[in-house]
Structure 1
Amino acid sequence: MELEALHQVQGVQGSSYPIYLGEGLLDDALPNMIVERGYTNIAIATNETLEPLYGKPLVKRLREYDSYMIVLPDDEKYSGLNTVHIIFNQLLLRNADRSTVIVALGGRVIIELVSFVGATYMYGVDVINCPTTPLAMVDTSIGGKGAIDLPQGRNLIGTFKDPIAVFADLQSLETLPVSEMRNGLAGIVKTALVGDPDLIDMLTPDDQSRLAYRPERLRTIIERAMAVKVPIVEADHTGLGERLHLNLGYTFAFALEKATGYKLPHGEALAVGLVAAVRLSHRMGLCDAALVQRTEQVLQSLNPSNAPVSYAIPQGRAIDVWEAMRHDPKWRQGKARFVLLQGPGQPIIHDDVPQELVLEVIESLADGVYPRPRSWRMVL
């Protein structure tokens, strides 16, 4: 039976690519597509954690073909030019050419790196995205954005090149560590605030029976989050218009990561960034206090200790976060630009936000340090 795509995303110049969501896709559907398309040089880029779980089994299924792994460290700090050079070198050693396909098997970092490499190696090779985290499934894998970091900040060099397919295998979520689950939850809250406010209700626990991993519920949540992003990237391929709305919270999040020496995990940074964005929206007179309260409540409810989402910036260091924002790609002519909210599902790009208001919001985050529990069960 032919696999049915959840979405057929319209890309640039009339092209399109399918998104598949289901269980066991890495076992059969992915290798079947690779074989059917006749690829003879197959690079599988993954990290040290995923290599034994999914990388080696995939290479085994493709053992009759020229398939090999490019294994990278499982650490967000390996998301810069040095790692890109490693991937380029591995491809050259394997005689990869423009008929090669690269399978991006991993989370946000792997997919952004491979998308960048796919757009630039020998002027472009095919890429198949296989996201293994909720954040990568609903966000990073859709839209063809490739990005790498510089010492000055996140995602400062980038490209746009659509994948030929996305395979989101829900079984890959069963082995996720706590931090990656948090990444996904914060990312889905962001998506809900931008385009599906009712989705927030599915993320808020109303009784203890929902405090467990539930694949059927998770699938519904991911489907709805994907349904928000797909039409946005179809309407704005290169992020100069509506697609910027998907950066809600990230201006604060990336700056917090940079200002803290990347000691703040990405998922926590995004949660804090979302709180900061809605607080700034309220202080700018764009939304009411109820939206601030609702956002903070849902993020707090997803935290197993039920503590408020906060981060203590050392006294007098809020200016460091502001300075880290200066390299944000959204800024124009040296003026601060933020994605803010006029209401649930009503994002807006606001130009020239006053520095003093931003500093006030940053300082308001210092209600305590956002907790980092050792283990917890996903709230669905």
Structure 2
Amino acid sequence: MSNLISWDKVMDTAMAMPLVKVNRDSFLIESFESYGNSSSLTNKRPIDLYDKDIVNKVAKSVINGHLIKATGTSTAAGIPGGLTMFATVPADLAQFYWHAIVCSQKLAYIYGYPSLLDENKNVNEETRNHITLFIGVMLGAGAASKAVTEVSKNLAVQVAKRLPQKALTKTSYYPVVKSVGKWIGMSVTKTTFSKGVSKIVPILGGVVSGGLTYATFKPMSKRLQTHLENDMEYHNTNVHHFTFEETIFDEQNETSKTDSENPQINLEMISLMVCINMSKIDFDLDQAEIDLITTLIEESNLTNDEKMVLLDNLRVKDLFKIDLNPFKENELYSIALIENLTAVMHADSIIKPSEKIYFNKIASELGFTREQINDFFESLKP
């Protein structure tokens, strides 16, 4: 897995395709038109107007619609820069995630999310952060699922015209989004190299292979739908309806700490230290592990000095002494750490006894049960 497929590159390519941005109001009005009163969805959630069966029916229709759509060549032709965009990301992979990105936006709106686009109806960094979490849920990332649920809880108590985006950029959510993005890249790379893109990603052009599509896209979409449906209980409250005149974020809830004062700033450093230890724990540092760890360090938000400390440590046999106390009271970060550690452990496709022992030790110290540890251990197997 030396050629790590970056989630940012996959998303960049998919986001450059036509019709990737979903306008919340027009989509919901059209989707619920046959059930009446859909024009009211400009300032209300579907669950405020329709019963759960109708909401789920529309969601199922969206998923099935993406299963049968053929975008293929016509979509690729509309990409700015043409087919040269696929130099680093396979075309079928980008098209597959185009569908996942579009479908995730639609499902989010159906289950109560305000618009994910900015004031000019464009995609910004906050939009990408939310999409990353949705794709993470689709692929089974526990940290993404936990983060999406936390956002749903925030939405339930906030009166907003759009998603409270500061929650992902100004507080503890943002590093988790970065961690989930790295995990997605590892997961996509592992699956791609172990089975071949053509076998696990359907080329959505012409006649779509029903078997391949149902084996990949439908389970992913269904996983996100189920998660959002379960979280809908947080939205299904009669206390508030969000309107365009109301504030988008309760400033009293925003942390007043600077980055230097925020104790979570070191969590990324600690997480990378644990991953480096995992790569060296068997005293046989594989090139695939070196490449993966180097990529994780280079793409991190650490300072250059911190990155150099980590890169230099790859050249020595000594392991870092790790203090996991900062993680023990933070389930979200603990899950993200374990998922990244799992990916590193699977990097060379060979699980050594020492790696499994170290993995169990870290997971146990973080408070995970034996069943949860087994689930994490199996998560990235080909």
TM tier relative to shorter chain: 0.3 to 0.5
Larger radius of gyration between Structure 1 and Structure 2: 2
TM-score normalised by structure 1 residue count: 0.33
Structure having the larger proportion of residues in helix: 2
Structure having the larger proportion of residues in strand: 1
TM-score normalised by structure 2 residue count: 0.33
